[in-house]
Amino acid sequence: MQLVRWPRYEIENYLLNPAILKRFIDRPVDLLTVSLLQTDRAAVDESFAANFPAQIDWLSQAPVLRDLKGSDFLVNVLSPTSQSLQKRDLYMVAAKCLPEEIHEDVRSMLDRIAGIMPSVVPVLAANASPEDANGVTETSEQLAEPKRSSTVVVEWRRPVAFRDLERRLRNER
């Protein structure tokens, strides 16, 4: 077994990018909600401007991106907005990342994980016949007979999450 560590303090540190957060808080607006969205976007910009150097490359190995407790920062940035999240829900922000915003550390870690996973994963599916296959209610004699057990089929396939991830990575390369 090999121990591998993320180069940044937390995995959430790879979400430190105001564009990703603004994409998360964006939503369809109308005349009544446009000012709320503008306020939310301004709050994100102000928080990042107060805590990071101007023109920082969010994919760089800058110490400020590596050493900050990213999850707390993200929760605090989103708390005054209309889209506040708890720490456990930050995965919803990650879903808004564009392929070009995914850091190379994340790509290489996912490649390592995929490398140790089996190429196929078993999925059990029970092939049970309907209880009343002919549309006739069973008699008491039929009920007394021992029923045959259902056949279990093992189906091998890749997990959906890995298929989607592989497709996204292939499309951007």
Give domain limits for the chain. 11-100
Pairing of strands 151-157, 121-127: antiparallel
* Predicted local distance difference test score (pLDDT) of residue 26: 92
From first to last of its 173 residues, the chain has per-residue pLDDT tens of: 778 888 999 999 999 999 999 999 998 888 888 999 999 999 999 999 999 999 999 999 999 999 999 999 999 999 999 999 999 999 999 999 999 999 999 999 998 888 887 776 666 554 445 555 555 555 555 555 545 444 433 344 445 555 666 666 677 66
pTM value > 0.85: no
pLDDT of 131 = 58
> Can you tell me the distance from the alpha carbon of 161 to that of 35, in angstroms, rounded to the nearest whole number?
37
Q: Give the 3-state secondary structure percentages of the chain, helix then strand then coil, rounded to 5.
A: 50, 10, 40
DSSP 170: H
